[in-house]
């Protein structure tokens, strides 16, 4: 059974249909990359899987770990192991990363029937995970994303992923805004978090990231549908030729 | 109904056209069974503030009367019943009362004519008391009461004082308080004045605060309204010399059909004074809040800096806010700004928190708590800040009730259990 299986997914934002019949299967242990021109629905797909209430699903199903998750509240999906790395992480003044993560970790543990982590244990966990993305202590004591640079925000997303150890991570343009060193750090963080029983979906515009996080499949999301799936070399071709040839192929069909 | 109470009820008619007072309506609070307190009901209440690490000079006013004799500490601080102080230390009382600070209004005049008792505090020049001073006004009588307290506080030149002032109900009887606090600050005096209000849903509180600051004085005032049926905080602050600094912040959390009305008038009469007011509120159910801020910058007050902000979160369609920050400026050499906002909980922030596995309820509390924290964070007395953080968490969880003691002293037996939700950054 696939970890994630999406069938004929249609989703709206307001009156506008963004996803127009998406099909996708992801197995445990795999890395999938989703590419596609701006505004074609990549973030929408990620948001629908994570459960953002601003989208309305009108047709289709999303089966995760054997469960239809479309009726599950956002936080339950997270506790079931779904993680979304935001393209635009939200600034939350007044909430420190530490409190935010402590609440998140302990609520997820509660969901799984585990005891909450005490302060000392939690701090130890945080120190350990901070190393994965080479995050400084100063950052961790600040309000969530408030005043963070673009790159710091993205690092913070991967730090949260490391804290929560998801089964399915969807990383929406985690590479955008990162300098060359940060890109390497973030990619290596993601790789360290890979396990045979989890899976990663990376949404990106650039082949560069895929040199570090090597995908098993590359999908092209075009006008609300996955129109093409191929091996990692597909990303290379997109890098060189852009999306015109895809448009061509579709027009001819 | 006693004639005095009736008279109070009628003031609203007289003030219908008064810009500053027309919103104030205690009509629903006054009841037929309401009466004036007797001097002897009370005095049995023994108070021990349970906020860890706060040891204070404490004066309690119970049902409008203070039963503590006048005390004098080794540092020369004089504190206790105002009635007693008027008899024994009329010289000190005269430093505050009758100096005519702030504006006149009919409610204040009623208090002038008919206050029962209250608290007097005198802090001598240069004194830095080791402990905070605590004023506690309690309604403990098993009766519906109309109370008028008068508090007078004198802070000598260069003194540096922390004052905690709490208004609490300890039962569900309706109370109406028309309390006046006058505070005179000498030159370069520093006061951290923390005001906490937790009265029951039936009760009303009209809380007048008139403060004058001499040159170089610094006032930090943080007022927190945790609960109350109808509350009006009427504050007037006058800076009577150069180089004064006023930070006046407020936080109100109201639900049901509670009404809270904050009025603050800050008068800049002299050059180089600085004032800032930040009021924030969360309104649930059909609660209603009013904010009226007025900064007056007079002709001679060059190099004034004055800022005023009011921010509100409405949790329902029925909750309402009327906000009116207002600057009145009569010279050019000033930096002033004012602003207000009324909003809801941010959907994106909510989704972000929940996408990490945080339940809707906790995410909401986290966001609301963060909103409050900007005001609570101004409190410089650490144990008090901690305690208020906890109380606010409880309040946001809907757990805080009016209990048999004041909110600060309250512990778990009355339903104010410590929240399981630990979000205190200082512990981590
Ligand atoms: N609130 C909204 N109202 C209307 N349309 C919206 C709204 N939010 C997003 N859209 C539209 O939905 C479409 C899909 O957006 P989405 O963010 O999924 O694109 P994307 O593929 O992630 O693009 P990018 O590569 O630029 O991140 C876009 O055309 C966008 O303008
Ligand atoms: Mg996108």
Instruction: Check CB contact under 8 Å for B352 and A86.
Output: yes
CB of A38 within 6 A of ligand 1: the answer is yes
Instruction: Check CB contact under 8 Å for A90 and B422.
Output: no
Name which of B184, B126, B191, B132 is nearest B157 in CA terms. B126
CB contact at 8 A, A55 and A223: no
Structure tokens at A68: 């239809």
Tell me which residues have their CB within 5 A of the ion that is ligand 2.
Answer: A 42-43, 87
**pLDDT (tens digit per residue) in B59-113:** 999 999 999 899 999 999 999 999 999 999 999 999 999 886 889 999 999 999 9
Which of B349, B423, B428 faces A90 most closely, judged by CB atoms? B349
pLDDT of residue B415: 42
**pLDDT (tens digit per residue) in B382-392:** 999 988 988 88
Which of B349, B351, B422 faces A74 most closely, judged by CB atoms? B351
**pLDDT (tens digit per residue) in A124-141:** 999 999 999 988 777 777
Which of B351, B358, B362 faces A52 most closely, judged by CB atoms? B351
Q: What would the DSSP string read from start to end of B305-367?
A: EEEEEEEEEE-SSS-EEEEEEEEEE--SSEEEEEEEEEE---HHHHHHHHTTT--HHHHHHHH
Kindly state whether B164 is in contact with chain A, defined as any CB-CB distance less than 8 angstroms.
Answer: no
pLDDT of residue B424: 40
The span from the CA of B229 to the CA of B42, in Å, is 23
Is 0.95 exceeded by the ipTM? yes
Pairwise pLDDT comparison (B428 vs A217), residue with the higher score: A217
Taking the centre of ligand 2 as the mean of its atom positions, its distance from the CA of residue A42, in whole angstroms, is: 5
Give the closest ligand to the alpha carbon of residue A172: 2
pLDDT of residue A136: 79
- Residue B328 burial (CB count, 10 A): 13
Kindly state whether B363 is in contact with chain A, defined as any CB-CB distance less than 8 angstroms.
Answer: yes
CB contact at 8 A, B134 and B167: no
pLDDT of residue B398: 74
Closest alpha carbon within chain A to B362: A103
pLDDT of residue B420: 37
**pLDDT exceeds 80 at position A208:** yes
Taking the centre of ligand 1 as the mean of its atom positions, its distance from the CA of residue B154, in whole angstroms, is: 62
**pLDDT (tens digit per residue) in A56-95:** 999 999 999 999 999 999 999 999 999 999 999 999 998 9
Taking the centre of ligand 2 as the mean of its atom positions, its distance from the CA of residue B148, in whole angstroms, is: 62
Pocket test for ligand 1, best of A14, A44, A84, A238 (most atoms within 8 A of CB): A44
The secondary element (H helix, E strand) that includes residue B48 is: none
DSSP code for B117: B
pLDDT of residue B81: 96
The span from the CA of B287 to the CA of B34, in Å, is 24
Kindly state whether B422 is in contact with chain A, defined as any CB-CB distance less than 8 angstroms.
Answer: yes
3-class DSSP assignment, residue A68: strand
The span from the CA of B401 to the CA of B394, in Å, is 9
Chain B residues in contact with A75 (beta carbon < 8 A): 354-360, 363
The span from the CA of A244 to the CA of A232, in Å, is 19
Which of A73, A94, A108 faces B370 most closely, judged by CB atoms? A94
Query: Nearest CA of chain A to the CA of B280: how many Å?
Result: 14
Cα separation values, B316 from A226, B120, B320, Å? 41, 42, 9
Give the residue-averaged pLDDT of A3-15. Answer: 97
- Residue B27 burial (CB count, 10 A): 12
3-class DSSP assignment, residue A139: helix
- Residue B109 burial (CB count, 10 A): 11
Pocket test for ligand 1, best of A10, A11, A12, A18 (most atoms within 8 A of CB): A18
Nearest residue (by CA) to ligand 1, atom 8, is A13
Residue with tokens 């515009």: A205
Burial bucket for residue A203 (CB in 10 Å: 0-12, 13-18, 19+): buried
Closest alpha carbon within chain A to B427: A119
Q: Residue ranges of chain B with pLDDT lower than 50?
A: 411-428
pLDDT of residue B40: 85
Kindly state whether B35 is in contact with chain A, defined as any CB-CB distance less than 8 angstroms.
Answer: no
Nearest residue (by CA) to ligand 1, atom 1, is A13
> Structural domain tally of chain B?
1
Cα separation values, B300 from B245, B304, B332, B337, Å? 17, 10, 10, 19
Cα separation values, A126 from A102, A137, A159, A184, Å? 9, 10, 9, 21
Taking the centre of ligand 2 as the mean of its atom positions, its distance from the CA of residue B235, in whole angstroms, is: 50
pLDDT of residue B244: 98
Phi, psi angles (nearest 5°) of residue B142: -85, 60
CB contact at 8 A, B164 and B192: no
Where do the domains of chain A lie, and which CATH numbers do they carry? Answer: 4-252 (3.40.50.300)
Query: Nearest CA of chain A to the CA of B425: how many Å?
Result: 6
Query: Nearest CA of chain B to the CA of A164: how many Å?
Result: 8
Closest alpha carbon within chain A to B423: A99
The span from the CA of B397 to the CA of B412, in Å, is 15
Give the closest ligand to the alpha carbon of residue A34: 1
pLDDT of residue B51: 66
The secondary element (H helix, E strand) that includes residue A198 is: none
pLDDT of residue B394: 84
The span from the CA of B314 to the CA of B317, in Å, is 7
Kindly state whether B423 is in contact with chain A, defined as any CB-CB distance less than 8 angstroms.
Answer: yes
pLDDT confidence bin for A230, thresholds 50/70/90:
very high
Interchain CB contacts (distance < 8 Å): A and B: 100
Domain residue limits at B47: 3-427
Cα separation values, B275 from A132, B209, B211, Å? 46, 16, 13
Alpha helices in B22-105, H assignment, sequence order: 82-88, 90-93
Structure tokens at B246: 């006023």
The sheet that has B133-139: what strands, in order across it? B65-66, B57-62, B133-139, B160-169, B190-198, B218-227, B245-254, B274-283, B304-314, B334-343
Name which of B219, B76, B238, B118 is nearest B160 in CA terms. B219
Structure tokens at A109: 């543990």
Give the residue-averaged pLDDT of A142-159. Answer: 94
The residue among B278, B280, B348, B355 with the most chain A CBs within 10 A of its CB, best to mutate, is B355
């Amino acid at each position: 059974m696939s970890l994630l299986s999406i069938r004929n997914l249609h989703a709206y934002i307001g009156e506008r249909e963004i996803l127009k019949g998406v099909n996708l299967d992801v197995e445990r242990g795999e890395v999938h990359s989703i590419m596609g021109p701006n505004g074609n629905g990549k973030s929408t797909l990620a948001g629908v899987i994570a459960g953002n209430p601003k989208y309305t699903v009108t047709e289709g199903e999303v089966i995760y770990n054997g469960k239809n998750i479309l009726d599950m509240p956002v936080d339950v999906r997270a506790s079931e192991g779904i993680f979304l790395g935001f393209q635009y992480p939200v600034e939350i003044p007044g909430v420190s990363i530490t409190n935010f993560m402590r609440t998140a970790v302990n609520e997820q543990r509660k969901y799984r029937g585990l005891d909450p982590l005490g302060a000392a244990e939690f701090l130890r966990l945080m120190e350990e995970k901070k190393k994965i993305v080479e995050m400084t202590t100063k950052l961790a004591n600040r309000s969530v994303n408030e005043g963070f640079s673009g790159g710091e925000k993205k690092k913070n997303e991967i730090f949260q992923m490391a804290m929560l150890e998801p089964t399915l991570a969807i990383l929406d343009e985690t590479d955008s805004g990162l300098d060359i060193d940060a890109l390497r750090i973030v990619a290596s963080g993601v790789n360290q978090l890979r396990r045979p029983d989890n899976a990663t979906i990376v949404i990106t515009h650039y082949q560069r990231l895929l040199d570090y996080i090597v995908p098993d499949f590359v999908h092209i999301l075009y006008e609300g549908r996955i129109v093409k799936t191929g091996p990692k070399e597909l990303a290379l071709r997109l890098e060189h030729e852009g999306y015109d040839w895809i448009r061509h192929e579709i027009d001819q069909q | 109904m006693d004639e005095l109470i009736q008279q109070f009820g009628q003031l609203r008619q007289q003030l219908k056209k008064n810009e500053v007072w027309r919103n104030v309506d205690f009509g629903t609070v006054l009841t037929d069974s309401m009466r004036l307190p007797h001097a002897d009901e009370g005095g049995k209440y023994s108070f021990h503030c349970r906020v860890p690490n706060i040891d204070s000079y404490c004066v309690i006013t119970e049902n409008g009367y203070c039963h503590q004799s006048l005390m004098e500490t080794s540092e020369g601080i004089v504190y206790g019943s105002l009635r007693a102080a008027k008899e024994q230390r009329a010289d000190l009382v005269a430093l505050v009362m009758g100096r005519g600070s702030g504006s006149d209004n009919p409610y204040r005049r009623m208090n002038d004519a008919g206050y029962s008792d209250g608290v007097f505090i005198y802090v001598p020049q240069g004194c830095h008391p080791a402990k905070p001073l605590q004023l506690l006004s309690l309604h403990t009588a098993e009766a519906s009461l109309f109370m008028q307290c008068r508090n007078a506080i004198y802070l000598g030149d260069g003194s540096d004082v922390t004052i905690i002032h709490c208004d609490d109900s300890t039962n569900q009887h309706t109370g109406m308080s028309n309390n006046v606090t006058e505070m005179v600050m000498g030159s370069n005096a520093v006061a951290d004045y923390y005001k906490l209000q937790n009265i029951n849903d039936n009760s009303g509180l009209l809380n007048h605060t008139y403060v004058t600051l001499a040159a170089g004085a610094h006032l930090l005032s943080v007022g927190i309204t945790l609960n109350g049926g109808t509350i009006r905080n009427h504050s007037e602050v006058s800076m009577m010399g150069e180089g004064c600094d006023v930070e006046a912040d407020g936080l109100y959390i109201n639900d049901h059909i509670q009404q809270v009305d904050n009025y603050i008038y800050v008068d800049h009469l002299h050059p180089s004074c600085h004032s800032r007011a930040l009021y924030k509120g969360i309104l649930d159910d059909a609660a209603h809040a009013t904010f009226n801020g007025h900064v007056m910058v007079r002709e001679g007050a060059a190099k004034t800096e004055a800022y005023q902000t009011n921010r509100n979160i409405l949790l329902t369609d029925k909750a309402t806010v009327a906000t009116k920050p207002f600057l009145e400026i009569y010279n050019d050499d000033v930096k002033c700004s004012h602003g207000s906002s009324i909003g809801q909980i941010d959907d994106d922030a909510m989704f972000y928190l929940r996408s990490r596995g945080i339940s809707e309820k906790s995410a909401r509390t986290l966001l609301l708590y963060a909103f409050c924290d900007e005001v609570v964070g101004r409190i410089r007395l650490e144990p008090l800040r901690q305690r208020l953080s906890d109380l606010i968490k409880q309040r946001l969880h809907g757990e805080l009730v009016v209990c048999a003691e004041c909110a600060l002293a309250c512990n778990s037996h009355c339903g104010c259990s410590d929240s399981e939700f630990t979000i205190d950054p200082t512990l981590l």
